[in-house]
Chain A
């Protein structure tokens, strides 16, 4: 067999200075850093050339709301305390990096799941697709906040990936539109569905990010030329199309351009972690803890290596039917919310378990040193869900967290309660925490010009 283009692109670079051990085992792992320590100034807070360590932005989503009486901290202000046995107990050790926001309301026209999902992730209403039937299928009208940050970062200092999307649990809604299937959206101008799908396979995520090797320069140049020609084909087709299809081709062009730019981007100095493999169900039980650990590890490494500056983790979908078997649940979470009698103990335990999974990810970020601090110091991560409580579809008193120190822009360790305030206040604050110079944010009824000052450093 001759060597061909796809194999030419698999010349594996020699290992550099980063190590990730025990990845698949889920044991304690050590992440070393490639880039920053020898390139930093004396204070360890900026590169030697004065360029600040970048702040990462993240969106971490879980589905079906919480049980408010076990979620909401018992005090406001600093040193927040969860109620005894509360859902947030696993985050207490990370409290310096975690602020809780409670009381906020979804301001856009209400619809079970759809409006909550679109509004807490994008700051604007959902969009019903093809509005000719009395049944709801929706997408996001406006981009999710990870894409707002991605665009800003890419304009400032491009990374190889504009953004990265990962998923943990496997349930996807099938008949209510992209709102029930995906987290990261690019917005919709004319009803097109424009999403950034999340990778849910640990092996595929690893293969995409760390196993492609590097192609020979002439092959990369040729592949870039091919992509450039595809771009020209897209541009010549656009004038023949209607407005909606033009939008769809614009996204195709954006995607092709991103691939082309990546071929010209400097190679990230990452060494290759081991293949994490897959985590198939045991019986019918999903291995959520292990999948969460390995996806968290891979995302942390990708962020540390500078593969991207903006990310999203779809721990579970809006209206998720994931079965939290480890807390004794036998039905999917959405159905369980509609059938479990008060006091909704299994839902409480499912949320508590989910926050332990979040704590693993945040802990991994915090354990990754960067300059004088760690990766979580240089991140701003919005954590949200589409309802306050699933059994009523309520969208008041929405559960939200803002994690990370935002490179000093976020205080951490605050419980801020604003009853009836606009949920977009939290989005605006998280984006500002990542360094976006925004005085206001949101769309239509979701608009706000009022960040949560108490959370800002």
Chain B
């Protein structure tokens, strides 16, 4: 238990520093606020990209990683939350086994590669050199110090197998055990007791913090510098943690990793399977959805990493990127081929910001027509963090047909629908927001009239503030404090792999304030997250019953 490499004094000092004034003063008998309780620790399964990066980190960058790794799920929209909740089914266990042998076989098929990895010609676990390698390899794979007992068990396994298959194959199989271990396929973070606390609060260890920040910011296991900091106990210290987080957020791997957060936040992964009627939309192709997703991700990268601007600029900017397919939807001429080119949209008040991207408009629409309800719902639920319950059971949700002989717009039919108080209760929160985007059809192309020739009316309001159209809606949304608060809350939930619970409202508010105080600098949000009490401490669930 515990790691022996740190002095007791350092532990005590660090514990004091971490507790006092940050999460309550133990001398006063507990947390500063009864509502301020971090969540219980949880196992985080490595996502497919994290698994791939881990194999490469251990065995070499040139490794050919199999494509059929266990598929990532999402829960509440986030891969990270599903990874903290899902189990390993038997078919997934098969995939882990297959992948372990597939990657190790590549190294073992090449003597030079194997010798370079192991550090000597020998493969006998009874030899000092091989045992030393096994310790290093396992510590790196499991992202923590290993016990003598654990290494002995692996060496014994190697000895048994060597009797049948020889040393060389036996060592490969031992590494296959390391790579199928729960300590590898999960991030095991349970925290350590805090001597000065009597309420059971635990602090994530320096090693656990190394994994937490490394996977959060780079989707990869800790690098050598982070492991060194972990060994030194540095990551219990807020200032040293801050320095590591700042280093990592400027690491090239941070870009794709934080883009993956934004992909989940915006739910734009669904654009890869975009399905629109090709008869109705000649500009549609099976690859258009991917282009739409790519544009939104590039906008995020540009604002957050290249320009380091206020995150909310995303809702108003006319600076974007298009390829030929997307240029066609936007009516931009002169863009040919698959290359992405930066463009500045014309200042004609028609299009600007995230909410008028083809991706946002198309994914919140149906195959043949728009859906003000879905567009409004997305803003309400995903951007303002305001939940909307599903329709009550037993209610007929079919939109009434237009009266015979009368042409109506979709907006008029939805407004009719909302005369029913059962429906209005929730649809009042969604449909009016969506009306602002009726100038854009189901693939996000600009239009002035519906298919039946009736003129579009995009004037509406957001909770009482008048809005003329989609561009205006973006400008209004960008100014709402709720938007910054919502992205901060979702990042908090993504980092911890769970929805924020009532005990975490103080921690969430702290993060929201830090984001606002930085003028919504996304990199500051990431660094603040790492230093947040909710990320550094855990309160185990009370044991219930005897089991």
What is A's interface to B at a CB cutoff of 8 Å? 1-2, 4-7, 9, 110-112, 115, 129-130, 132-137, 161-162, 165, 174-175, 177-178, 181, 186, 191-197, 199, 204, 208, 218-219, 221-223, 225-227, 229-230, 232-234, 237, 240-245, 247-249, 251-252, 254-256, 258-259, 281, 283-284, 323, 330-332, 335, 337-342, 391-395
B180 close to chain A: CB less than 8 A? yes
Whether A175 touches B77, Cβ cut-off 8 Å, given contacts A195-B89, A223-B173, A237-B182, is yes
| A4 partner, pick from B98, B109, B381, B543, beta carbons under 8 A | B109
B97/A227 in contact, CB under 8 A: yes
Provide the bound-state CA to CA distance between A197 and B381, in Å.
28
Judged by a CB distance under 8 angstroms, whether B329 is at the interface is no
Pick the residue among B87, B90, B160, B397 that contacts A259 (CB under 8 A): B90
Contact between A222 and B43, CB atoms less than 8 A apart: no
Tell me if B366 is interfacial: C-beta within 8 Å of chain A: yes
Q: Would you call B466 an interface residue if the criterion is a C-beta within 8 Å of the partner chain's C-beta atoms?
A: no
Docked CA distance A181–B71 (Å): 12
Asked if B532 is at the interface of the complex by the 8 Å CB criterion, the answer is no
Stretch touching chain A among B54-62, B122-130, B224-232, B387-395: B387-395
A132's contact among B42, B85, B501, by CB below 8 Å, is which? B501
Q: Report Cα–Cα, A230/B451, bound state, in Å.
A: 61
* Nearest A-chain residue to B544, judged by Cβ: A243
5 A-B pairs within 8 Å (CB atoms) are namely A4-B108, A186-B89, A230-B177, A339-B366, A392-B394
B16 located at the interface, meaning its Cβ lies under 8 Å from any Cβ of chain A in the complex: no
CB-CB under 8 A for A197 and B89, given A7-B105, A227-B97, A341-B401: yes
A5-B173, A135-B387, A255-B93 are contacts. A194–B547 as well, Cβ < 8 Å? Answer: no
A339 partner, pick from B94, B180, B398, beta carbons under 8 A: B398
B393 A111 Cβ-Cβ under 8 A: yes
User: B187 to chain A: closest CB distance in Å?
Assistant: 11
- Quick one: which of B82, B366, B501 contacts A193, CB cutoff 8 A? B82
Please provide the 7 A-B residue pairs with the shortest distance between their CB atoms, ordered closest to farther.
A4-B105, A255-B93, A251-B87, A134-B387, A6-B101, A255-B90, A110-B393
- Verify B164–A221 contact, CB threshold 8 A: yes
A residues less than 8 Å from B391 (CB atoms)? 112, 393
Count B-side interface residues using an 8 Å CB cutoff: 87
Query: Quick check: B104 and A259 within 8 Å, CB to CB?
Result: no
B407 sits at the interface (CB 8 A): no
**Which of B19-27, B249-257, B270-278 makes up part of the contact surface?**
B270-278
User: B277 and A197: CB pair below 8 A?
Assistant: no
CA distance A283 to B367 in the complex (A): 14
A238 CB to nearest B CB, Å:
9
Among A2, A178, A199, the residue within 8 A (CB) of B73 is A178
Taking a contact as CB atoms closer than 8 A, the residue among A221, A252, A255, A323 that contacts B275 in the complex is A323
Alpha-carbon distance between A254 and B89 when the two chains are bound, in angstroms: 8
Contacts of B544 in A (CB 8 A): 243
User: A174 and B164: CB pair below 8 A?
Assistant: no
Tell me whether B190 is interfacial, beta carbon within 8 Å. Answer: yes
Chain A residue at minimum C-beta to C-beta distance from B274: A284
Contacts of B105 in A (CB 8 A): 4-7
The residue in chain B whose Cβ has the minimal distance to the Cβ of A394 is B394
B397 to A255, Cβ gap below 8 A? no
Complex Cα distance, B373 from A335, in Å, reads 12
Q: How far is the CA of A130 from the CA of B501 in the complex (A)?
A: 9
CB neighbours (8 Å) of B395 from chain A are: 392-393
Would you give the shortest CB distance from B428 to chain A, in whole angstroms?
16
Q: A134-B388, A332-B366 are in contact. List 9 more A-B contacts (CB 8 A).
A: A111-B390, A134-B387, A161-B90, A178-B73, A194-B86, A199-B91, A242-B541, A251-B89, A256-B180
Binary contact readout B372-402 vs A (1 if CB under 8 angstroms, 0 otherwise): 0000000001000001111101111111010
User: Which residues of chain B are near A1, meaning CB under 8 Å?
Assistant: 109
A95 vs B322: C-alpha distance when bound (angstroms): 57
Chain A CB within 10 Å, residue with most, of B150, B172, B398 = B398
CB under 8 Å from chain A, chain B span 149-183: 150, 153-154, 157, 160-161, 164-165, 169-170, 172-174, 176-177, 180-183
A225 touches B94 (CB 8 A): no
Q: How far is the CA of A136 from the CA of B366 in the complex (A)?
A: 22
Contacts A218-B164, A393-B394: A2 and B85 contacting too (C-beta < 8 A)?
A: no
Q: How far is the CB of A250 from chain B (nearest CB, A)?
A: 8
Measured CB to CB, the nearest residue on chain B to A237 is B182
Asked if B502 lies at the interface with its beta carbon under 8 angstroms from chain A, I say yes
The CA of A191 and the CA of B270, in the complex, are separated in Å by 25
Residues of A within 8 A of B154 (CB): 229
Q: How far is the CB of B349 from chain A (nearest CB, A)?
A: 32
Write the B349-361 contact mask toward A (1 if CB under 8 angstroms, else 0): 0000000000000
Residue on A with the closest CB to B371? A335
B76 pairs with A175, CB closer than 8 A: yes
Residues of A close to B71: CB separation below 8 A: 197
A370 CB to closest chain B CB (Å) equals 26
* CB nearest to A116 among chain B residues: B393
**Whole-angstrom distance between the alpha carbons of A130 and B393 in the complex?**
22
Which single residue of chain B is at the shortest CB-CB distance from A240?
B190
**Structural contact, A242 and B540, CB atoms closer than 8 A:** yes
